[in-house]
């Protein structure tokens, strides 16, 4: 069967071309693309805020923006990047596209709900963007009470409302994925034949469904308290501001795993493909994903070591936080073992995935510093923390997001991207990222607090290095945007399986037909059944 011929005929992209057809589509693949466009725009907003922050930090005194504006900039950066880019990044784009494809289904279980969650996402984003245009928010992305409830004069209500609405989009996506993975697997697709990307989507969905309602209600309480000047977070009446932090982190720590677990799934797919090896310890990889999701719910207190929570609570949270390192390490070691004696090739997705592997490892290991009670007292709220979570969220999640976008780009669009440029930008991103964030470990360890626009002059060299790195990172991100768009028109036509990868999504044409498969696939082998070859003995 000539899949190329099919690609040029009817597929999900070339039927129903009107705006109306796109905005009312129930096709998970198109909804994935709608999400991709939306979060790319929001990434640009969040990235612009980051660029302005780095520019301002070039000098020890805040010369570019006022102190008030600086507060609004880092809040904008945090709110947009966390809730409107990272949380939906891989699940809502690649996940939407791939979950039904990888399990051999025609669509998600609830296509209407899927479209509704995109509209909720857009409504939430517009609400938050309104808050920014109306004058901004200055609470930090954490919205801590009582500052957010009593003192801040900025547009807390609209920003929080946006996050609240987008939360329902998360919940519905998670619900849809869980039901789909449970109910709609193709014949022969048993649980332990699922690609690890599906396991990662499953674990992520569990977190989305179980953690997001807590955030929604907490923000609701915060906004009510702000509006009526009474509430359980207000110490003046006998309320407890720490309660807000507990509830907030009960969501927001698992939220970190919403961001990074999907990245782990992407990395597993890419690494096994480009070293032609089965993922080492497949079952343990699946268990590790679930373990990370489960432990993630038990460690929120490590964000509050210096908040005044009891030393006993602090000790328990510290110990539990160390526990997360175990499944994380299992994953890193297994990826490494997958590479061992593989026939490795360095296409752009692989470069991104290897970048993910290195950066996630550094981010994870520095997390252990912060999970230690004593060390955290020194490092809490310094740039060490900022560097740590950027290694996880940007070094881990964003690298994997770009890797995944390149890997599945031929499948999604039916076009190949320019390989040379893509490799260049993968390397550029890696270099720019490290130059941006590694100095922040050092300056943070030396004592520079986060969220301040001014710092002692002896810290300037680290800040200049970091800002220089950020300027490289900008090119690392803009370049793919340019050549990927270019490839939509001028890229070579993609064959059904340009990487000779395993997985059901590669068995159908590129781009796939609206119903994904011409006939329902039947699965007869494990995931990643790459043929064992002579070279593995060499």
Partner 1 sequence: MASGVAAIAPQFDDAEQQRSASNLGIWIFLATEVLFFGVLFAAYAITRVRYPEAFAAGSRLTNITLAGINTAVLLTSSLTMALGVHAAKEGARRALVAWLCLTVALGVGFLAIKAVEYRFDYLEHLVPSVDFVYPAPQADQVELFFYLYFLITGVHALHVLIGIGCIAVIAVMASRGAFSASYFTPVDVTGLYWHLVDIIWLFVFPILYLVSRS
Q: Which stretch binds partner 1 (CB under 8 A): 109-117, 134-142, 314-322, 482-490?
A: 109-117
Query: By the 8 A CB rule, do 195 and 503 touch?
Result: yes
For the chain, counts of helices (H) and of strands (E): 18, 0
Contact with partner 1 (CB under 8 A) among 67, 229, 306, 485: 229
505 binding partner 1? (CB under 8 A): no
Q: Report the chain's C-alpha Rg in angstroms.
A: 23
Question: Rounded to the nearest whole angstrom, what is the least distance from the CB of residue 183 to partner 1 in the complex?
Answer: 4
Using the minimum distance from each CB to partner 1, give the nearer residue, 236 or 311: 236
Give the pair of three-digit tokens for residue 33. Answer: 């693309």
Binds partner 1 by CB under 8 A, chosen from 228, 312, 489, 531: 228
**Of the residues 213, 281, 418, 498, which one makes contact with partner 1 according to CB under 8 A:** 213
Q: Count the residues of the shown chain that bind partner 1, applying the rule CB under 8 A.
A: 43
485-522 CB burial, b ≥16 within 10 A, e <16: eebeeebeebbbbbbebbbbbbbbbbbbbbebbeeebe
DSSP single-letter state for residue 493? B
Region near partner 1 per CB under 8 A, out of 210-218, 347-355, 504-512, 525-533: 210-218
State the Cα–Cα distance between residues 255 and 237, nearest whole angstrom.
Answer: 31
Q: What's the min distance (Å) between Cβ of 11 and partner 1?
A: 17
Using CB under 8 A, which of 106, 451, 460, 464 touches partner 1? 106
DSSP string, 238-284: T--HHHHHHHHHHHHHHHHHHHHHHHHHHHHHHHHHHTT-PPTTHHH
Binding mask 173-192 for partner 1 (x = CB under 8 A): -xxx-xxx-xxx--------
The verdict on 255 binding partner 1 (CB under 8 A) reads no
Q: Is 209 in the site for partner 1 (CB under 8 A)?
A: yes
The answer to whether residue 216 forms part of the interface with partner 1 (CB under 8 A) is yes
Instruction: Quote the least distance from Cβ 384 to partner 1, whole Å.
Output: 31
Q: What is the dihedral of CA 41, 42, 44, 49, to 10 degrees?
A: 160
Tokens of 363: 């981010």
Q: Does position 259 bind partner 1 by CB under 8 A? A: no
Residue 290 interacts with partner 1 (CB under 8 A): yes or no: no
Q: Is position 521 an interface residue for partner 1 (rule: CB under 8 A)? A: no
**Alpha carbons 308 and 246: distance in angstroms, whole number:** 12
Question: Mask of contacts with partner 1, 146-175, x by CB under 8 A?
Answer: -------------------------x--xx
The Cα-based distances of 195 to 97, 200, 282, 408, 529 in angstroms read 14, 9, 9, 15, 11
For partner 1, the closer of residues 58 and 210 by Cβ is 210
Q: Which residues bind partner 1 (CB under 8 A)?
A: 100, 105-111, 171, 174-176, 178-180, 182-184, 209-214, 216-218, 221, 224, 228-232, 236-240, 243, 247, 515, 520
């Amino acid at each position: 069967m000539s899949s190329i011929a099919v690609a040029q005929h009817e597929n999900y992209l070339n039927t129903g071309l009107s705006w109306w057809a796109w905005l009312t589509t129930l096709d998970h693949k198109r909804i994935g693309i709608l999400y991709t466009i939306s979060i790319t725009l929001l990434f640009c907003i969040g990235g612009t805020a980051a660029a302005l922050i780095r520019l301002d930090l070039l000098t020890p005194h805040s010369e570019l923006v006022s102190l008030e504006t600086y507060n609004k900039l880092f809040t904008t950066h945090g709110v947009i990047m966390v809730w409107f880019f990272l949380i939906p990044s891989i699940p809502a784009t690649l996940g939407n596209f791939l979950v039904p494809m990888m399990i051999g289904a025609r669509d998600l279980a609830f296509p209407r709900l899927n479209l509704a969650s995109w509209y909720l996402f857009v409504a939430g984003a517009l609400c938050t963007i309104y808050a920014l245009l109306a004058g901004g928010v200055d609470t930090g992305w954490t919205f801590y009470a009582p500052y957010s409830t009593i003192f801040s004069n900025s547009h807390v209500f609209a920003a929080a409302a946006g996050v609240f609405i987008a939360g329902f989009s998360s919940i519905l996506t998670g619900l849809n994925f869980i039901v789909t993975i449970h109910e709609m697997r193709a014949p022969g697709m048993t649980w332990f034949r699922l690609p690890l990307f599906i396991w990662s989507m499953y674990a992520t969905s569990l977190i989305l469904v179980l953690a997001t309602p807590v955030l929604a209600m907490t923000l609701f309480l915060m906004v009510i308290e702000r509006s009526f000047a009474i509430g359980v977070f207000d110490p003046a009446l006998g309320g407890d501001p720490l309660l807000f932090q507990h509830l907030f982190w009960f969501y927001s720590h698992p939220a970190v795993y919403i961001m990074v677990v999907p990245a782990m799934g992407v990395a597993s797919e890419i690494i096994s493909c480009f070293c032609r090896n089965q993922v080492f310890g497949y079952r343990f990889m699946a268990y590790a994903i679930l373990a990370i999701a489960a432990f993630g719910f038990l460690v929120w207190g490590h964000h509050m070591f210096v908040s005044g929570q009891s030393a006993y609570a602090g000790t328990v949270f510290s110990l539990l936080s160390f526990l997360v390192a175990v499944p994380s390490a299992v994953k890193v070691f297994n990826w490494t073992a997958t590479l061992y004696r593989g026939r490795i090739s360095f296409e752009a997705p692989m470069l991104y995935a290897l970048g993910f592997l290195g950066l996630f490892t550094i981010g994870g290991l520095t997390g252990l510093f912060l999970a230690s009670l004593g060390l955290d007292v020194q490092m809490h709220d310094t740039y060490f923390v900022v560097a740590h979570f950027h290694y996880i969220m940007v070094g881990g999640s964003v690298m994997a997001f770009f890797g995944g976008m390149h890997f599945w780009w031929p499948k999604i669009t039916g076009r190949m991207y320019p390989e040379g440029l893509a490799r260049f930008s993968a390397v550029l991103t890696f270099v720019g990222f490290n130059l941006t964030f590694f100095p922040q470990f050092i300056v943070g360890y030396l004592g520079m607090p986060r969220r301040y626009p001014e710092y002692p002059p002896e810290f300037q060299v680290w800040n200049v290095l970091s800002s220089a790195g950020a300027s490289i990172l900008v090119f690392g991100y803009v370049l793919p945007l340019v050549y990927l768009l270019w490839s939509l028109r001028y890229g070579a036509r993609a064959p059904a399986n340009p990487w000779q990868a395993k997985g059901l999504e590669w068995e159908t044409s590129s781009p796939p037909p609206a119903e994904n498969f011409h006939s329902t696939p039947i699965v007869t082998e494990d995931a990643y059944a790459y043929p064992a070859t002579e070279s593995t003995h060499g």
